[in-house]
A and B are shown apart, each in its own frame.
Chain A
Amino acid sequence: MKGISLRSAVRCAVALTTLLAVMPAGPTRAANDAASVSSQDVRAKLQYCEVCHGVSAQGFLGYYPIPRLAGQQVDYIQNQLQGFSEHKRTNNIMFNVGHVLSPAMITALAMSFHDLDPKPLANAPKELVAAGKQIYEEGVAGANVPACASCHGKDAKGTGQFPRLAGQLYAYVSLQLTNWSKERGEGTSDIMAPIARGLTEPQIKAVAAYVSYLE
C-alpha cells in the first residue's frame, strides 16, 4: 500500500513536470512573446516612441506629420515595423528605430498602443468633412475608387493588417495617399496603390479630413 502510493506519487510528479514543460506559458502567442521583455524596458521604449508620436501616441506635427499610433491594429503596427526593417517601407528614421527592436518588444509595443484611446488632434478643415464622409462610405464609382469602409470598417477602426484610420492626422493621411507608391512596397500595401492613384488631391484632402475627426 505504502509502495504503491509512493510509486503513484512519483508517476504523478513526472506526468505533471512533462505537462508543464509542453504547456504554452500564456493564452496566446502574442501574450507569450510580449511577456519575455521586462515591463520596465517596454515603458522606457514607449516613452521614447511618444517623444515623436505625441502624448498617448495621439500623433504629432513635427517637421513631418508623425502618425497617431493610439488604438492602431496590433497586426498593422507589427507589419509596418517589419516593413521598415526590411526596407519594404522607406523611412530612414523608422528604419533606425525599427531594426533594433526584438520581436517580443514589437509585440509588446503594438499591444500597448492598441490599448490607448486619446482624443483625435482634430485640426483638419471642417468644411471638407461631408465630402470626405461620402467618399469614405461610398467610394468614387466613376473613378474606380472603392468605399474605404469596405476594408477599414464603417467606424474606420481597421482590422488585422488593415490600419485604423479614425483619428489619424489629417496631414499624415494626405501625405500617405499622395506619396503611396514612393514610400510603400510590395505586400498588402499593393492593395492601396491603385486607390491612392485614383483619388484626386481634393478627394484625398476630403477623406483625410473626415477620418481625422473620428474617435
Chain B
Amino acid sequence: MRLRLALQTALLALALSGAAHAESEHAAARGGVQAKLSYCKDCHGVSAQGFRGYFPIPRLAGQQTEYIENQLRAFIEHRRTNNIMFNVAHVLSPAMVSALAANFHDLNPAPIGGAPRQLAGEGKKIFEDGVPDANIAACAACHGPDATGSGEIPRLAGQLYPYLIKELTNWGKERGQNTAKPDTSGIMSPVAHSLSRSQIEAVSAYVSDLR
C-alpha cells in the first residue's frame, strides 16, 4: 500500500517535471526568436522597415515568408553571394528561419521613403505595363498590382529605393551564383539586364513609396 502510494507520487512528480521542462523549453524558444529578431533589427531597422547603413539594408517587414526562407537558404547554399548574410544565416535552424519569416511577414511599418518623387509616374507605368517594345515584362504580373508579391516572389512595396537600384543593377553578379543549384532568380535576369539605369530608378522610386 505504502509502496504503491510512493510509486504513484513518484510517477506524478515525473510527469509534472516533464511538463515543466517542455514548457520552459518552449519559453526559451520564444525568447530565442525574440532575441534573434532584435539582432536582425540592428541592421534591418527597428520595425524591419529597412535601413540605410553603409549598404542599403532591405526592408523585411511584410515580406512573403517563402521569399525570406528561400533567400536565407540561398545565402547558405551560395546561390546568393553576401558574406554578411552567409554568416548570419548558416547558424539558423530551419525552425528559427520559419519563425523569423512569419514574424517579419506580420510587421507593417510605413515605408522609409526618400526616393525622388518626380520619378514615380514613369515608374508606375513601367511597373504596371512593362516596356513591351524593349521586351521588359510588367512587374505587376508576378509581383502583383500592389507589389505585395506571392510565395517566393517578393513584396516590393515599401522596399528601399537604393536597395532596389543596387539589386537591379547588380542582379547577375549577386543572385543565381551556384550553377549546381539554379533557382527562381533566373527569371529576373533578362528583366534586370534590359532595364536602363533611368528605368531602374523610376520603377524603384515608384514601389519604394507603396504601402
Contact = CB atoms under 8 A, between A and B. Distances in A.
The prevalent SS among residues of B at the interface is helix
Interface in B102-142: 128-130, 132-133, 135-138, 140-142
B50 interface: no
Interface in A86-102: 92-93, 96-97, 99-100
Residue among B142, B144, B191 with most chain A CB within 10 A: B142
Given A61-B150, A61-B151, A62-B150, A92 B190 contact: no
Contact of A48 (B128, B136, B149, B151): B136
B129 A62 contact: no
B27 to A, nearest CB: 38
B33 to A, nearest CB: 29
Contacts of B145: 63
B59 interface: no
Given A100-B132, A100-B133, A48 B150 contact: no
A44 interface: yes
A169 to B, nearest CB: 14
Interface string A38-55: 000000110110011000
Nearest to B186: A55
B12 to A, nearest CB: 46
The prevalent SS among residues of A at the interface is helix
B180 interface: no
A97 B149 CA distance: 21
B141 A64 contact: yes
Contacts of A48: 135-137, 190, 194
B129 A96 contact: yes
A96 B137 CA distance: 10
A47 B149 contact: no
Interface of A: 44-45, 47-48, 51-52, 60-64, 66, 92-93, 96-97, 99-100
Given A48-B136, A48-B190, 6 more contacts: A45-B135, A47-B135, A47-B190, A52-B138, A63-B141, A92-B129
Interface of B: 128-130, 132-133, 135-138, 140-145, 149-151, 153, 187-188, 190-191, 194
5 contacts: A48-B194, A64-B141, A92-B128, A93-B129, A97-B138
